[in-house]
Structure 1
Amino acid sequence: MGIVLNQSLKNTIITYIGFGIGGINTIYLYPVFLGATFYGLTNYITSCANVIMPLFAIGMQNTLVRYYSQYKTEDEKSKFLSFTVLFPFLLIIPLLILGLLFYDEILFFLSKKNAIVKNYIWLIPFIGLCMAYFEIFYAWLRVHMHSVFGNFIKEVGLRLFSLILLIGVYYKWLSVEGFVYATAVLYFLAFLVTMFYAFSIQKPSFQFSIPENTKEILIYTFYIILSGSVANLLLDGDKMILNQYMHIENIAFYSVATYIALVISVPSRAMHQIVYPITAKLMHENKHDELNNLYKKTSINLQVVGGLVMLGIFVNINQLYEMVPKEYSGGILVVFMIGLSKYFDLILGNNNAIIFNTKYYRTVLFLGVGLVVLTIVLNMIFIPIYGIMGSAFATLLSITIYSLAKLLFVVKRMDLYPFTNQTLYSIAITMVLFLLFYFWQFPFHPIIAIALKSILITIVYVYLNYKFVISTEINAAIDLVFKKFKIK
Structure 2
Amino acid sequence: MGIVIKQSFINTLILFLGFAIGGVNVLFLFTHFLQEDYFGLITFLLSTAIIILPLLVFGMQHTIIKFYSSYKSRQDQDSFLISTLVLPLLVIIPVGFIGSILYESISSWLSVENPMIKSYTYLIFIVAVFMGYFEVFYSWTKVQFKSVFGSFVKEIFARICTTFLLFAVYFGWLTNEQFIYAVVIVYGVRMLIMKLYAFYVYKPKLIFKIPENLKEILSFSSYIIVAGSASSILLEIDKFMIPQMEQIAQVAYYSVGVYIASVIAIPTRAMQQITSPITAKDMNENRIGEVGDLYKKTSLNLLIIGGLLFLLINCNIREVYSLIGKPEFSNGIWIVFIISLAKLVELGLGTGNAILVNSKYYKIYFYFSIAMALSVIFLNKWFIHLIGINGAALATLVVVALYSLVKVAYINAKMNIMPFNKQTIKIIIIISAVFLIFNFWSFNFHPFLNIVANSCLIIVVYSIIVKKFKVSEELSDFIINFVRKK
User: After TM superposition, is the score higher than 0.5?
Assistant: yes
Write the deviation string for residues 350-403 of structure 1: whole angstroms up to 9, x where unpaired. Answer: 111100011112123213212211211111122122110111111111222222
Write the deviation string for residues 403-437 of structure 1: whole angstroms up to 9, x where unpaired. Answer: 22211111111211001111011011111110111
Write the deviation string for residues 301-337 of structure 1: whole angstroms up to 9, x where unpaired. Answer: 1011111011100100111111221001111111111
| CA RMSD in angstroms, aligned pairs only | 1.2
Alignment-mate amino acid for residue 381 of structure 1 = W
Following TM superposition, by how much is the alpha carbon of 1:205 offset from its aligned partner in structure 2, in angstroms?
A: 2.7
SS, match of residue 316 in structure 2: helix
SS, match of residue 323 in structure 2: coil
Alignment-mate amino acid for residue 456 of structure 2 = I
What is residue 452 of structure 1 aligned with on the other side?
Answer: 453
What is residue 481 of structure 2 aligned with on the other side?
Answer: 480
Structure 2 gaps, min length 5: none
Following TM superposition, by how much is the alpha carbon of 1:117 offset from its aligned partner in structure 2, in angstroms?
A: 0.6
Q: Could you tell me how far apart the structure 1 residues matched to 2:262 and 2:241 are?
A: 19
Following TM superposition, by how much is the alpha carbon of 1:483 offset from its aligned partner in structure 2, in angstroms?
A: 4.5
What is residue 337 of structure 2 aligned with on the other side?
Answer: 336
What is residue 259 of structure 1 aligned with on the other side?
Answer: 259
Q: Could you tell me how far apart the structure 2 residues matched to 1:411 and 1:89 are?
A: 38
What is residue 413 of structure 1 aligned with on the other side?
Answer: 414
What is residue 218 of structure 1 aligned with on the other side?
Answer: 218
Q: Could you tell me how far apart the structure 1 residues matched to 2:151 and 2:205 are?
A: 25
What is residue 313 of structure 1 aligned with on the other side?
Answer: 313
Alignment-mate amino acid for residue 283 of structure 1 = M
Q: Does 1:12 align with 2:12?
A: yes
Alignment-mate amino acid for residue 441 of structure 1 = S
Whether the 8 Å CA contact 2:356–2:364 is kept in 1: the answer is: no
Q: Does 1:435 align with 2:474?
A: no
What is residue 245 of structure 1 aligned with on the other side?
Answer: 245
Following TM superposition, by how much is the alpha carbon of 1:479 offset from its aligned partner in structure 2, in angstroms?
A: 2.9
Whether the 8 Å CA contact 1:86–1:208 is kept in 2: the answer is: no
Q: Could you tell me how far apart the structure 1 residues matched to 2:397 and 2:6 are?
A: 33
Pairing of 1:194-213 with structure 2 (within 5 A): 194-213=194-213
SS, match of residue 442 in structure 1: coil
- Which sits farther off after the overlay, 462-471 or 149-158? 462-471
Whether the 8 Å CA contact 1:364–1:409 is kept in 2: the answer is: no
What is residue 424 of structure 1 aligned with on the other side?
Answer: 425
- Which sits farther off after the overlay, 75-84 or 471-480? 471-480
Q: Could you tell me how far apart the structure 2 residues matched to 1:417 and 1:479 are?
A: 28
Q: Could you tell me how far apart the structure 2 residues matched to 1:467 and 1:367 are?
A: 39
Alignment-mate amino acid for residue 17 of structure 1 = L
Alignment-mate amino acid for residue 249 of structure 2 = E
Pairing of 1:71-220 with structure 2 (within 5 A): 71-220=71-220
Following TM superposition, by how much is the alpha carbon of 1:482 offset from its aligned partner in structure 2, in angstroms?
A: 5.8
SS, match of residue 323 in structure 1: helix
- The percentage of aligned residue pairs carrying the same residue is 43
Alignment-mate amino acid for residue 48 of structure 1 = T
Alignment-mate amino acid for residue 416 of structure 1 = I
Q: Could you tell me how far apart the structure 1 residues matched to 2:290 and 2:19 are?
A: 32
Write the deviation string for residues 56-101 of structure 1: whole angstroms up to 9, x where unpaired. Answer: 1111111111111111111111111101111111111111111112
Whether the 8 Å CA contact 2:33–2:169 is kept in 1: the answer is: yes
Following TM superposition, by how much is the alpha carbon of 1:478 offset from its aligned partner in structure 2, in angstroms?
A: 3.0
SS, match of residue 208 in structure 1: coil
- Which sits farther off after the overlay, 401-410 or 180-189? 401-410
- Which sits farther off after the overlay, 13-22 or 322-331? 322-331
Whether the 8 Å CA contact 2:51–2:236 is kept in 1: the answer is: yes
* Structure-2-length-normalised TM-score: 0.98
Alignment-mate amino acid for residue 100 of structure 1 = S
Whether the 8 Å CA contact 1:39–1:252 is kept in 2: the answer is: yes
What is residue 287 of structure 2 aligned with on the other side?
Answer: 287
* Structure-1-length-normalised TM-score: 0.97
Whether the 8 Å CA contact 2:68–2:77 is kept in 1: the answer is: yes
What number of residue pairs does the alignment pair up?
485
Write the deviation string for residues 174-193 of structure 1: whole angstroms up to 9, x where unpaired. Answer: 11111111110111011000
Structure 1 stretches of at least 4 aligned residues deviating more than 4 Å after TM superposition: 481-485
Alignment-mate amino acid for residue 32 of structure 1 = H
Q: Could you tell me how far apart the structure 1 residues matched to 2:240 and 2:206 are?
A: 37
Following TM superposition, by how much is the alpha carbon of 1:444 offset from its aligned partner in structure 2, in angstroms?
A: 1.2
Q: Could you tell me how far apart the structure 1 residues matched to 2:404 and 2:227 are?
A: 13
Following TM superposition, by how much is the alpha carbon of 1:111 offset from its aligned partner in structure 2, in angstroms?
A: 0.4
Write the deviation string for residues 428-451 of structure 1: whole angstroms up to 9, x where unpaired. Answer: 111111011111111111111111
SS, match of residue 266 in structure 1: helix
SS, match of residue 322 in structure 1: helix
- Which sits farther off after the overlay, 401-410 or 124-133? 401-410
- Which sits farther off after the overlay, 175-184 or 392-401? 392-401
Q: Does the C-alpha gap of structure 1 residues 457 and 82 become closer, same or farther in structure 2, counting only changes over 3 Å?
A: same
Whether the 8 Å CA contact 2:357–2:365 is kept in 1: the answer is: no
What is residue 304 of structure 2 aligned with on the other side?
Answer: 304
Q: Does the C-alpha gap of structure 1 residues 482 and 195 become closer, same or farther in structure 2, counting only changes over 3 Å?
A: closer
What is residue 382 of structure 2 aligned with on the other side?
Answer: 381
- Which sits farther off after the overlay, 366-375 or 230-239? 366-375
Q: Does the C-alpha gap of structure 1 residues 478 and 214 become closer, same or farther in structure 2, counting only changes over 3 Å?
A: same
Alignment-mate amino acid for residue 252 of structure 1 = A
Alignment-mate amino acid for residue 296 of structure 2 = K
Q: Could you tell me how far apart the structure 2 residues matched to 1:15 and 1:363 are?
A: 30
Whether the 8 Å CA contact 1:134–1:195 is kept in 2: the answer is: yes
Whether the 8 Å CA contact 2:52–2:229 is kept in 1: the answer is: yes
Whether the 8 Å CA contact 1:54–1:228 is kept in 2: the answer is: yes
Q: Could you tell me how far apart the structure 1 residues matched to 2:323 and 2:7 are?
A: 34
SS, match of residue 439 in structure 1: coil
Following TM superposition, by how much is the alpha carbon of 1:484 offset from its aligned partner in structure 2, in angstroms?
A: 4.7
What is residue 278 of structure 1 aligned with on the other side?
Answer: 278
Alignment-mate amino acid for residue 338 of structure 2 = M
Alignment-mate amino acid for residue 418 of structure 2 = Y
Q: Could you tell me how far apart the structure 1 residues matched to 2:51 and 2:485 are?
A: 46
Alignment-mate amino acid for residue 398 of structure 1 = V
Q: Does the C-alpha gap of structure 1 residues 321 and 11 become closer, same or farther in structure 2, counting only changes over 3 Å?
A: same
Whether the 8 Å CA contact 2:51–2:232 is kept in 1: the answer is: yes
Q: Could you tell me how far apart the structure 2 residues matched to 1:209 and 1:39 are?
A: 46
Q: Could you tell me how far apart the structure 2 residues matched to 1:309 and 1:215 are?
A: 44
Whether the 8 Å CA contact 1:364–1:405 is kept in 2: the answer is: no
Q: Does the C-alpha gap of structure 1 residues 206 and 50 become closer, same or farther in structure 2, counting only changes over 3 Å?
A: same
Alignment-mate amino acid for residue 176 of structure 1 = N
Q: Could you tell me how far apart the structure 1 residues matched to 2:30 and 2:480 are?
A: 41
Whether the 8 Å CA contact 1:374–1:398 is kept in 2: the answer is: yes
Q: Could you tell me how far apart the structure 1 residues matched to 2:295 and 2:378 are?
A: 33
